[in-house]
Chain A
Amino acid sequence: MASQLLPLELIDKCVGSRIWVVMKGDKEFAGTLLGFDDYVNMVLEDVTEFDYSGSNIKLSKILLNGNNVCMLIPGGEGPEAATS
């Protein structure tokens, strides 16, 4: 059987590159992934927070709680880049 890539190994490959985080609910974040732990708490840099209201908030460096994370998209730049 071919060696399969575990989900968290995929995220480990994303360290240092841009990532798009879709939360439970309406919030989304795009930023550079600096690190994460087993709970998928993430340290992100040069972050844009996308609100349900459509307002974007810029944040330099954050620790994002993994509790409400729904989906991670490697290389993603957020909802505005994805919808065209």
Chain B
Amino acid sequence: MENGASDSKDPSGFLSEIIGTPVTVKLNSSVVYKGLLSSVDGYMNIALEKTEEYVDGELRRSYGDAFVRGNNVLYISAD
């Protein structure tokens, strides 16, 4: 994680670039969370604000703040 910290094209640089922006997080279960990315760590643990939970493309629930454990994350997409 340390060698590419200054390079926005590497994973850690990309993460620091998208902090505070709207993101889409897809889990291995295909559930999708959309929200503002408040923080993320090296495990891809994610804290989201204004989170919306989509199951099969349909909005199921909304959360003010949400923590997603990193092992469930398939990808983080910048919106």
Contact = CB atoms under 8 A, between A and B. Distances in A.
Do the two shown chains form a genuine complex with each other? yes
B77 A62 contact: yes
Interface in B40-79: 44, 70-71, 73-79
Chain A CB count within 10 A is highest, among B1, B10, B73, B75, for B75
A43 B71 contact: no
B74 A64 contact: yes
Interface residues of A, number: 19
A19 interface: no
B77 A37 contact: no
Interface in B1-60: 1, 4, 7, 9-15, 24, 28, 44
A37 B71 contact: no
Interface of B: 1, 4, 7, 9-15, 24, 28, 44, 70-71, 73-79
